[in-house]
Amino acid sequence: MGGFTTGLVAGCLLGVCGTFLLLSLGAAFSVERARVFRLRSLPGTLLSAIVLLCIAAFCHRMAIGKDASMLLLLLAVLVVSKMEGLLNGLIATATAALILVFWFFPPVGTAMIKSSSDRLALALFLIIGTLGSRLLGRQERSAP
């Protein structure tokens, strides 16, 4: 049974990574690229990465569990995508996923995830972060 679960989770993770890549490429080469998929500001991207690192460092320092840390990082990713757009939301999703892999999933400090439940949690994080960025990043700001 363990081999089946591992294969299922690995396939799910590969599918999520492929979906993330296809959504990114599709948005990059679409007709609406200038409106939807643009880097609004490099300082905004750097600031969002710093905020994600600060949230993760706080969670790590306070010994908050990986589940609560994932939710806080997901909330930060969705806020970034709402404020900065699709591209910054996708960058924030990838940054948050790397932070989770290196700081919260055992063995800590490596890019390897041993538990199949952690792989599934990472896959779901990527799905929700990517789709949330796509939905929130597409909405145009209303003119004042």
Higher pLDDT, 42 or 96: 96
Q: Which residues contact 69 (CB under 8 A, 6 or more apart)?
A: 55, 56, 59, 60, 100, 104
In-domain check, residue 109: yes
Position 35 pLDDT exceeds 60? no
Q: What range does the domain containing 35 cover? A: 2-138
First vs last Cα of the chain: how many Å apart?
57
Confidence class for position 143, pLDDT limits 50, 70, 90:
very low
In-domain check, residue 130: yes
Position 33 pLDDT exceeds 80? no
In-domain check, residue 129: yes
Position 91 pLDDT exceeds 50? yes
Q: Which of 16-20, 81-85, 104-108, 121-125 has the lowest mean pLDDT?
A: 16-20
Using one digit for the tens of pLDDT, what is the confidence trace for 43-86? 777 888 888 888 888 888 888 888 888 888 899 998 888 888 88
Q: What is the pLDDT of residue 9?
A: 62
Pair 68, 59: CB distance under 8 Å: yes
Q: What is the four-CA torsion angle of 53, 54, 55, 57, rounded to 10 degrees?
A: 80
Position 25 pLDDT exceeds 70? no
Q: Which residues contact 105 (CB under 8 A, 6 or more apart)?
A: 66, 113, 115, 118, 122
Using one digit for the tens of pLDDT, what is the confidence trace for 6-20? 666 666 666 666 666
In-domain check, residue 39: yes
In-domain check, residue 143: no
Exposure class string for 45-83: b at 16+ Cβ within 10 A, else e: beebbebbeebbeebeeeebebeebbebbbebbbebbbe
In-domain check, residue 144: no
| Number of domains, the chain | 1
